[in-house]
């Protein structure tokens, strides 16, 4: 059985075409902004008739983390099922966030074309290449500890973190922290910003997504 995660806006016809183009669909998760929640619930009633188990999720159409966090939360509920993400509808930000999330969680993104003549459903549903397994990073235990500490502070809104502060919490030297931060920065999980004589360390969106997916809960 498969799970389909579908951000959308006003138009929903492509959603039905996309589902018809896949077999063994069991769960459908619709993601909509407050403006189109009513549309989402109306569609959910239609899809329920065909035996799909449908859930509606409210997201912000213009906030990357709202879309990504919702998709990751859904994926964590269905880790044993095959995941698909329809990236056709919604704002450009929603489509971009959905595509990025698909690569990270190992889902299969697809796009549904508008019919022009007498194309079959199979011709209209275009699958994009994606990894079969979630994207992971080979982190050492100390690197993971540094990332999780940054994630904890990020959730609490703390800014301007420097390596010495991380070292004080983790019982590591500033030199070791600098080494671990360099490795994390090389993987795109953190960024460093020199401000005068200080070098501030911040999580990237990829770092937040990694913690969210692996249980570190950043954001």
Report how far residue 191's alpha carbon sits from residue 27's, in angstroms, rounded to the nearest whole number. Answer: 37
**Smallest Cα–Cα separation from 71: which of 213, 208, 219?**
213
- Fold for the domain defined by 2-127: Rossmann fold (3.40.50)
CATH for 141-214 is: 1.10.10.10
Per residue in 138-165, pLDDT tens?
A: 899 999 999 999 999 998 889 889 999 9
pLDDT value at position 216? 61
Calculate the average pLDDT of the chain.
Answer: 90
pLDDT at position 131: 66
Q: Say if residues 216 and 210 touch (Cβ distance below 8 Å).
A: yes
Give the predicted TM-score (pTM) of the model.
Answer: 0.74
Question: What burial class does residue 114 get, using C-beta atoms within 10 Å of its C-beta: 0-12 exposed, 13-18 middle, 19+ buried?
Answer: exposed
Residue 130: pLDDT band with limits 50, 70, 90: confident
- Residue range 15-44: average pLDDT? 96
pLDDT tens readout for residues 176-198: 999 999 999 998 899 999 888 88
Angle 135-100-104 from CA coordinates, rounded to 5°: 15
pLDDT band at 219 (very low <50, low <70, confident <90, very high): low
Q: What is the pLDDT of residues 76-119, one digit of tens each?
A: 899 889 999 999 999 999 999 998 888 888 899 999 998 887 77
**Interatomic CA distance for residues 180 and 195, integer angstroms:** 20
Tokens of 105: 């969680």
Task: Taking residues 48-62, report their average pLDDT.
Answer: 95
Domain ranges of the chain: 2-127, 141-214
């Amino acid at each position: 059985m498969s799970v389909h995660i579908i951000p959308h806006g006003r138009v929903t016809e492509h959603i039905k075409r996309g589902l018809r183009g896949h077999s063994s669909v069991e769960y459908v998760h619709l993601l909509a902004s407050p403006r189109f929640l009513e549309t989402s619930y109306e569609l959910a009633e239609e899809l329920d008739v065909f035996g799909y188990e449908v859930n509606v999720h409210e997201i912000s159409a213009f906030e990357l983390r709202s879309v990504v966090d919702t998709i990751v939360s859904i994926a964590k509920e269905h880790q044993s099922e095959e995941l698909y993400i329809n990236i056709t509808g919604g704002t450009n930000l929603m489509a971009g966030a959905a595509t990025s999330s698909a690569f990270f969680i190992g889902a299969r993104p697809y796009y549904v074309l508008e019919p022009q003549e007498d194309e079959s459903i199979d011709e209209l549903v275009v699958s994009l290449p994606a990894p079969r397994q979630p994207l992971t990073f080979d982190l050492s235990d100390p690197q993971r500890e540094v990332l999780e500490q940054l994630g904890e502070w990020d959730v609490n809104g703390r800014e301007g973190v420097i390596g010495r502060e991380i070292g004080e919490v983790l019982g590591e030297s500033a030199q070791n922290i600098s080494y671990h931060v360099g490795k994390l920065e090389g993987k795109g999980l953190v960024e460093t910003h020199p401000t005068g004589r200080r070098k501030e360390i911040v999580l990237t969106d990829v770092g937040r997504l990694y913690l969210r997916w692996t249980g570190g809960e950043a954001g």
